[in-house]
Amino acid sequence: MTFSVHGITVSRGVAIGRAVLVASSRVDVAHYFVEPDQVPAELARMRAARNAVVEELQRLQAEMPKDAPPELDALLDVHLMLLQDEMLGAGVKQFVIERFYNAEWALTTQLEIVSRQFDEMEDPYLRERKADLEQVVERILRQLKGAAQPVAAPPPRAPRQQGFELDDTLDVPLVLVAHDLSPADMLQFKKSVFAGFVTDVGGKTSHTAIVARSMDIPAVVGARSASHLVRQDDWVVIDGDAGVMIVDPSPIILAEYGFKQRQGELERGRLVRLKNTPAVTLDGQKIELLANIEQPADTAAALAVGAVGVGLFRSEFLFMGREGKLPDEDEQYAAYRAAALGMHGMPMTIRTIDIGADKPLDDRRADTHLNPALGLRAIRWSLSEPAMFLTQLRAILRAAAHGQVHLLIPMLAHLREIRQTLELVDKARAQLDARGVVHGPVRIGAMIEVPAAALSLRQFLRHFDFLSIGTNDLIQYTLAIDRADESVAHLYDQLHPAVLRLLADTIAEGARQGKPVAVCGEMAGDPAMTRLLLGLGLRSFSMHPSQILAVKQEILRADTGKLAPWAQAVIESDEPAELLQA
Ligand code: PEP
Ligand code: MG
């Protein structure tokens, strides 16, 4: 039966494919594809983990004190029985053999399937066994985590789906459906080919959404109970423009979306022709179009759309999902140098680590802070871990010998933080000098993403060479709306007069003092915002490579002389959205 689930649109276009469920689990689970020749080893890893749990439970039984309640012994019997049951084991094996899922992913997927069967059972005793099954699976996951193998680089695309009941000789497009995806998971998935994804949680500028945009695949977040409503292998359509997922579409709906998908492809084809067209407005204003990247390899995508540099390299992605083992100076240096070389002398703006809130180093559920978005994140964390921060700064300064590297500092709010940061940059330089290690010059910029920073521009401009406005956080902190919380996503308003005022003032003050100001938040990559930002005087935009050509198209049609008075009217209006559409 066809039904639809509504969420928040984060990435445009249409995807049609089979649902791949990524079940959530209390244990942090890695999801990746294994190489076909690694399948036997992966099955052996699974068997070893299961056998270890069997031994663990048998030991518990043997060591049970005499006065222990008899129910406990019976419960362990049930757990042992579930462990041996083929209902779990056979399915897991199938997912590894046929889909090349890693053991953890196969296990949580099968758990989800079996849990649903339990939910449908009439007998309340049997229904309650679901909780036992979850506990057993959690034990296996913990064993697997303990015995985790270094994550093999996943193959560049999802393997051929040999196990599908239908179309089993075809490459069926896959659509990810999950409760949530960690940023680290997203990076893994980025190396595979997925046609689109849907998550239950998340907002327009949550990091999951941001990575989706960088993957340039249709996506919907904040779709509430999507992962419960969809079953493994269901056919789904994702309408990224409308923020809707349609499950089990009828042939008429499929045909309609097939048409829409082809239209989208044609439009993309037309935009590609703009790649080498200079980004100049009708009145001759040259506009700088820069790329946002997460990994050095993303420079290829930036060059492919004609970006003239990188305005934001989110370095934190190098640090994520490494079980606490942070990359050392040489590893970071290699990554930053690769990024700098990848841009062939064009600017490479490396932002120092921005960890915390919705970008945890490892398991986000482990974050026990009361309010991580207001807590120890970004530069605050870096300043609290000076050895880690100095390591990163040295690596960036060394990479600066190989390209035009800029250093960008996230989340600054206090003058004290500015001073400490700049002192640490000097110290990192001195340490390299003392070791006789080559390093290069960097221009240092600050992100304006906390209202306090936007309201103390004079200090920021005095200390920094350039500013970059992080509208994602600036909106979050100005409006007190968690950017990752779908329940308040309707209040996350980029056109709120307070947001526009801070934006306009920052751009104007930078121009007055002759210091470059860019916008690197998602607003810069939204073609609906291009004219407004141009009218406010913005001349440097940094965004996902996937957005660059659409924004360039807007720029080529714009006349900044006419847009300037209109933009002032927009920011003073009670209904900016209406003026924007006019
Ligand atoms: C921003 O806040 O707008 C920004 C670019 O930084 P991030 O999205 O990585 O927090
Ligand atoms: Mg930010």
Question: Looking at the structure, do residues 345 and 443 belong to the same domain, yes or no?
Answer: yes
CA distance 471 to 461: 18
Provide the CATH number for the domain around residue 70: 1.10.274.10
User: Which of 461, 484, 486 has its CA nearest to residue 472?
Assistant: 484
Output the residue whose Cα is nearest ligand 1's atom 9. 314
- Dihedral, CA atoms, 553, 315, 500, 223, nearest 10 degrees? 80
Q: Which long-range contacts (CB under 8 A, 24 or more apart) does 164-172 make?
A: 164/18, 164/233, 165/233, 172/17, 172/18
pLDDT level of residue 188 (50, 70, 90 thresholds): low
Provide the pLDDT for residue 169: 35
**Residues identified as active-site:** 207, 520
Could you tell me the distance, in angstroms and rounded to a whole number, from the CA of residue 471 to the centre of ligand 1?
7
Could you tell me the distance, in angstroms and rounded to a whole number, from the CA of residue 314 to the centre of ligand 1?
9
Question: Looking at the structure, do residues 279 and 323 belong to the same domain, yes or no?
Answer: yes
Question: Looking at the structure, do residues 468 and 535 belong to the same domain, yes or no?
Answer: yes
Three-class SS state of 289 = strand
CB 340 within 8 A of CB 402: yes
Query: Which residues fall inside 5 Å of ion ligand 2, going by CB?
Result: 449, 470, 473
Query: With pLDDT > 90 as the criterion, what percentage of the chain qualifies?
Result: 62
The predicted-structure confidence for 171-181, as pLDDT tens digits, reads as follows 688 898 988 87
Question: Looking at the structure, do residues 295 and 377 belong to the same domain, yes or no?
Answer: yes
Q: Residue 338 falls within a domain, yes or no?
A: yes
Question: Looking at the structure, do residues 109 and 249 belong to the same domain, yes or no?
Answer: no
Question: Looking at the structure, do residues 435 and 519 belong to the same domain, yes or no?
Answer: yes
User: One-letter amino acid identity for 64?
Assistant: M
Phi, psi of 437 (to 5 degrees): -95, 135
Domain boundary among 120, 145, 170: 145
Provide the CATH number for the domain around residue 10: 3.50.30.10
Phi, psi of 408 (to 5 degrees): -125, 135
Pocket test for ligand 1, best of 315, 351, 381, 472 (most atoms within 8 A of CB): 472
Domain boundary among 240, 271, 302: 271
pLDDT at 334 exceeding the cut of 50:
yes
Closest atom of ligand 1 relative to the 471 alpha carbon: 3
pLDDT level of residue 158 (50, 70, 90 thresholds): very low
Between residues 452 and 364, the one the model is more confident about:
452
Give the pLDDT mean for 467-479. Answer: 97
pLDDT level of residue 194 (50, 70, 90 thresholds): confident
Output the residue whose Cα is nearest ligand 1's atom 3. 470
Give the number of other Cβ atoms within 10 Å of residue 24's Cβ.
17
Question: Looking at the structure, do residues 421 and 569 belong to the same domain, yes or no?
Answer: yes
Q: Where are the beta strands (DSSP E) in 308-367?
A: 310-314, 348-351
CA distance 209 to 221: 7
Query: With pLDDT > 70 as the criterion, what percentage of the chain qualifies?
Result: 91
Q: Residue 165 falls within a domain, yes or no?
A: yes
Residue showing tokens 């449908």 = 120
Mean pLDDT over the full length of the chain: 88
60-74, 334-348, 532-546: range with lowest mean pLDDT: 60-74
List ligand 1's pocket residues with C-beta within 6 A. 210, 312, 314, 354, 449, 470-473, 520-521
Range ranked top by mean pLDDT from 10-24, 214-228, 282-296:
282-296
User: Which of 400, 387, 379 has its CA nearest to residue 333?
Assistant: 400
Where helices occur in 364-465 by DSSP H, the ranges are 378-384, 386-399, 415-435, 451-454, 457-463
Pocket test for ligand 1, best of 351, 473, 533 (most atoms within 8 A of CB): 473
CA distance 425 to 464: 13
pLDDT level of residue 192 (50, 70, 90 thresholds): low
pLDDT level of residue 183 (50, 70, 90 thresholds): low
DSSP 296: G
Q: Residue 140 falls within a domain, yes or no?
A: yes
Question: Looking at the structure, do residues 356 and 380 belong to the same domain, yes or no?
Answer: yes
Beta bridge partners, 105, equal none
Domain boundary among 271, 292, 322: 271
Question: Looking at the structure, do residues 303 and 258 belong to the same domain, yes or no?
Answer: no
Question: Looking at the structure, do residues 266 and 277 belong to the same domain, yes or no?
Answer: no
Provide the pLDDT for residue 393: 98
Q: Compute CA 58 distance to the chain's CA centroid, rounded to the nearest angstrom.
A: 42
Where helices occur in 305-414 by DSSP H, the ranges are 329-342, 378-384, 386-399
User: Which of 127, 124, 125 has its CA nearest to residue 116?
Assistant: 127
Pocket test for ligand 1, best of 314, 351, 381 (most atoms within 8 A of CB): 314
Could you tell me the distance, in angstroms and rounded to a whole number, from the CA of residue 472 to the centre of ligand 1?
5
pLDDT level of residue 392 (50, 70, 90 thresholds): very high
Question: Looking at the structure, do residues 167 and 284 belong to the same domain, yes or no?
Answer: no
Domain total of the chain: 3
Supply the range of the domain harboring residue 264. 3-23+152-271
Question: Looking at the structure, do residues 186 and 292 belong to the same domain, yes or no?
Answer: no
Provide the CATH number for the domain around residue 515: 3.20.20.60
Q: Residue 437 falls within a domain, yes or no?
A: yes
pLDDT at 447 exceeding the cut of 60:
yes
Residue showing tokens 């406010």 = 536
